[in-house]
C-alpha cells in the first residue's frame, strides 16, 4: 500500500515506532534492549512515518542507531 492509501484509510491501522543502537550495521540485533527508545503507537502509517523520520534525522550522526516501524495491525487481525 502506498502512503496515500494509508493516509486515507478509515480503519485504524496501528503502527509502533521504536529504535535503539544496533550491535552491528549488518544486523538488527540491539546492543542493549533495555535502552531502546519506544517512540509510540500511531493510528496510521502516515503519522508513524513522520515520527520515524524525525527520530531518524535526530540520530543521523550515530550510524548504529536505527528506528523501525512495526505494522501492529497485521498482528492483531484475528483471521
72/79: higher pLDDT: 72
CA distance 24 to 39: 22
What pairing do the DSSP bridges indicate for beta strands 65-71 and 37-42?
unpaired
Asked if pLDDT for residue 79 goes beyond 90, the answer is no
Checking if the pLDDT of 59 tops 70, the result is yes
Residue 1 has pLDDT above 70, yes or no: no
> What is the per-residue pLDDT across 14-38, written as a single tens digit (0 to 9) for each?
999 999 999 999 999 999 999 999 9
Question: Residue 17, class by beta-carbon neighbours within 10 Å (0-12 exposed, 13-18 middle, 19+ buried)?
Answer: buried
The answer regarding whether domain 13-36+45-76 maps to CATH 3.30.70.2400 reads yes
Give φ, ψ of 65 to 5 degrees: -85, 125
Q: State the pTM of this model.
A: 0.79
Domain ranges in the chain are 13-36+45-76
What is the structure's pLDDT at 2? 47
Amino acid at each position: 500500500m502506498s502512503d496515500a492509501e494509508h493516509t486515507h484509510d478509515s480503519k485504524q491501522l496501528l503502527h509502533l515506532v521504536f529504535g535503539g543502537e544496533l550491535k552491528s550495521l549488518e544486523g538488527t540485533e540491539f546492543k542493549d534492549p533495555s535502552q531502546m527508545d519506544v517512540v509510540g503507537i500511531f493510528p496510521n502509517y502516515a503519522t508513524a512515518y513522520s515520527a520515524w523520520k524525525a527520530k531518524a534525522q535526530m540520530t543521523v550522526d550515530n550510524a548504529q542507531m536505527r528506528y523501525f516501524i512495526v505494522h501492529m495491525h497485521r498482528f492483531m487481525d484475528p483471521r
